[in-house]
């Protein structure tokens, strides 16, 4: 049986790390995309120590830097000829307005635009697989979002709920539009809500901001472990039950109904065209 290849963004911690480890345990060759070499190498050691018939390797990518994404794509193309599974897992949230290197609002820039560019640059590798799968980790937080086309980078009236909600709605709209654009190919595209998962999302590694909240939430039984949160992404990556299924939104490994705004094809197409211009994608 030929070894399958998967790529997971944000693989240095949380659900990305848990997803990578589980796929290695199932025999996949996993490319762990991380922004930091130091944290990436530490995560790689953890995955290797967890064991499994598969393998893992580190590839560097800063989703907040378009030039880094293009270098990352070149690196991946130099390593593999086909990509069976692409999992867009990385995500950020910021209480205060911040920008990426290219001047994008941070959450929209990383969670959506960074993945928009990287996915499009890797799409030929996914198409080259026998039955490529693209999995977009979104969130139920999309319900609090809308696409603020007059001011998508939230230069006026920023708040964290608007920021994160917009980026997660963008994730779903992107997945649905990409599914339409890959219709008739062997590639499938699905989005998912992992549920409430206890990760380091939102914690400032330098100042420790958010750490107290994180610890408090850790005592709440309603929060899942990263391994539990990763289960739907792993299911969509590996289960034969979803072979050929595309343009769905999953929660707890089952299709889940979306709010009407997340199924607006006109908004999705408009977002795609705007995103192309933002990232300079021909």
Residues classed as catalytic: 164
CA–CA gap between residue 169 and residue 143 (Å, rounded): 7
Measured CA distances, 182 to 131, 133, 187, 190 (Å): 12, 11, 6, 12
Contacts of 28 (CB under 8 A, 6+ apart): 3, 4, 5, 6, 54, 84, 85, 238
Residue 86: phi, psi to the nearest 5? Answer: -120, 120
Q: Burial-class residue 240 by CB neighbours within 10 Å (0-12, 13-18, 19+).
A: exposed
Q: Burial-class residue 113 by CB neighbours within 10 Å (0-12, 13-18, 19+).
A: buried
**Tokens of residue 52, six digits:** 């499994």
**Tokens of residue 196, six digits:** 């409430």
Scan for tokens 């499009």, then name that residue.
120
CA–CA gap between residue 271 and residue 266 (Å, rounded): 9
Scan for tokens 């958010």, then name that residue.
210
- What is the rounded end-to-end Cα distance, in angstroms, of the chain? 37
CA–CA gap between residue 151 and residue 63 (Å, rounded): 21
**Tokens of residue 139, six digits:** 């969130």
Q: Do 8 and 34 contact (CB within 8 A), yes or no?
A: no
């Amino acid at each position: 049986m030929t070894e399958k290849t998967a790529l997971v963004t944000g693989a240095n911690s949380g659900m990305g790390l848990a997803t990578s480890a589980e796929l290695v345990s199932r025999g996949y060759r996993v490319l762990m995309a991380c922004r930091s070499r130091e944290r990436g190498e530490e995560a790689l050691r953890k995955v290797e120590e967890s064991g499994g018939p598969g393998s893992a390797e580190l590839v560097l990518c800063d989703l907040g830097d378009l030039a880094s994404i293009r270098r990352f794509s070149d690196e991946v193309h130099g390593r593999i000829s086909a990509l069976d599974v692409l999992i867009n897992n990385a995500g950020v949230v910021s209480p205060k307005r911040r920008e990426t290197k290219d001047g994008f609002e941070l959450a929209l820039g990383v969670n959506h635009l960074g993945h928009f560019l990287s996915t499009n640059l890797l799409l030929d590798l996914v198409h080259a697989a026998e039955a490529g799968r693209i999995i977009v980790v979104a969130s139920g937080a999309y319900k609090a979002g809308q696409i603020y086309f007059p001011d998508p980078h939230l230069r006026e009236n920023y708040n964290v709920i608007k920021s994160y909600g917009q980026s997660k709605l963008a994730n779903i709209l992107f997945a649905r539009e990409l599914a339409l654009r890959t219709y008739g190919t062997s590639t499938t595209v699905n989005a998912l809500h992992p549920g409430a998962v206890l990760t380091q999302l939102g914690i400032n590694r330098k100042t420790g901001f958010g750490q107290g909240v994180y610890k408090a939430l850790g005592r709440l039984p309603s929060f899942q472990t990263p391994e539990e949160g990763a289960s739907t992404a792993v299911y969509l990556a590996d289960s034969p039950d979803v072979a050929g299924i595309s343009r769905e939104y999953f929660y707890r490994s089952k299709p889940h109904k979306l709010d009407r705004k997340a199924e607006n094809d006109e908004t999705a197409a408009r977002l795609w065209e705007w995103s192309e211009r933002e990232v300079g994608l021909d």
